[in-house]
Structure formats: structure tokens, C-alpha cells
A and B are shown apart, each in its own frame.
Chain A
């Protein structure tokens, strides 16, 4: 049987004890310690909470009601109505510079000529 030490973690980076296979099989103490160690790795300890921390005072200002009328008014007009394909293109073209617009026009023109010849 192999005597190679068994551990689930890198021993060089921790102070955890390693156990040989024989030790784990034959020694109940080593067996228990091995499995406890493995369990800690699988389920790390939960973070500690300070149970005695004073709760924060309730701040009523944080609970302002949503002014529905204002909220609706802040929604841009285009978001309230269905947007046409043309409008989507118009917005896209607004953010393009001259060379990008020319490139798009060129691409569409070429596509038209190719489509025409395919007919």
C-alpha cells in the first residue's frame, strides 16, 4: 500500500497535518482528524458577525415615496412609445462620423447592385 501522505491542501502553504494512508485506515484519531480537515476545506467557517452591534436608527428620509407623476415625466419620450425601425436607424446614424456614414452608404449601395444582378 502506498505510504504517500494524503492531504486535500498544499501543506507548504499551511500548518495542516498530513496523514499517510495507513494512518487514516488504521488509526481512528488520525481518521477523524483527516475527515475534519477535509470538511473544513469543503465548508469553510462562516464569517463572524458582531452580534452586539447596535442597530442603526431608522432614517425616515430614506423612505420617501416615489412620485409617480415625476417618474413618468422623466422617462424619455421614445421609451414610452414603440420605436420604428427608421427611428432606430436615425439614432444610430446620429452617433456616426462622416467616414462611417459614407462606408455604410457604400455597403448598402453595393448590396443593392449585387441583389439586382442576382434577380
Chain B
């Protein structure tokens, strides 16, 4: 596609060419950023000076990202990736061995995923998480 055509299309749709959702105002990345803000609040109060994001990257991957500055003014970044497999959820952290999570950690993550879905379905997409119907639909069930 020529550059001029790309620019024109991008101007018309408001999204970069090649986006999965070219006719929508927000790109998938922007939607994930919105979701990540909600996701960051699911684990209680965020400590002062911390920035936390928790989001669903794709159908198999979740990301926990946290940044903070310590007392010595040193910046720290921690990223954890959770991969959903058929037999378990694999946790991958910077410089650490991959492992399948279990027990309370697995329960807490599953709970967070469920709460995340319910929160973003209502808060961003205006859909009922139970039925998937739009909240403006009069037949929508509530959960």
C-alpha cells in the first residue's frame, strides 16, 4: 500500500493501518492500556510511588508489570508473564525459572482474572459479563 493511501486511511479511521480494528476509535493496544489500569486496582491499594498494571495480552497470556522507586531513588521494574496452558498456568519472571503456579497463588490469579473480566466488560465495553449482551439491551441479565 502506498504511503499516501496509508496516511489517508489512517486519517479517515483514526487508527494506524494494519490494526485489527481499523474502523474503531481505539486501537487494541489502547484498549489494553485502559484494561491495565482497571487490572492494577484488583489487588488492593497500590503502595505510594508504585505503578502497577495487570492485563490480558492475548488469549493465552497475562502480564503483571510493576514499577517503583526505592528509598535510594533507584528505579525498579518487575514484569511477570502468566501463560495459560491446558494443564496449568505457567509463571515466567525476569531471570527466574519457569514454573506452574498452584495452591493459593493459582486461586488468587484465577480470581483476579475473573474480576478483571467482570470489571472491564462493564466498565469499558459496557457489556454484561454473564450474557455478553450490551448493558443498554433491556433483556440483559445482571450478575
Contacts and interface: CB of A to CB of B under 8 A. Distances in A.
Interface of A: 85-86, 89-90, 93-94, 96, 98-99, 101-102, 104-106, 108-119
Contact of B89 (A94, A105, A117): A105
What is the predominant secondary structure among interface residues of chain A facing chain B?
A: helix
Contact of B114 (A108, A114, A115): A108
Contact of A93 (B24, B58, B107, B143): B107
A101 B114 contact: no
Contacts of A90: 107, 111
B137 to A, nearest CB: 13
11 contacts: A96-B107, A98-B102, A104-B113, A105-B84, A105-B113, A109-B60, A115-B120, A116-B125, A117-B20, A117-B28, A119-B21
Given A85-B143, A113-B56, 12 more contacts: A86-B115, A104-B110, A104-B113, A105-B89, A105-B113, A108-B116, A109-B84, A113-B59, A114-B132, A116-B28, A117-B28, A118-B127
Interface residues of B, number: 38
Interface string B98-117: 00001000110111011111
Nearest to B112: A105
Nearest to B124: A119
Contacts of B114: 89, 104-105, 108
B54 interface: no
Contact of B120 (A106, A112, A114, A118): A112
Contacts of B31: 116, 119
A105 B106 CA distance: 10
Contacts of B63: none
Contacts of A116: 28, 31-32, 35, 125
B102 A112 contact: no
Nearest to B143: A85
Contact of A94 (B107, B121, B129): B107
A105 B21 contact: no
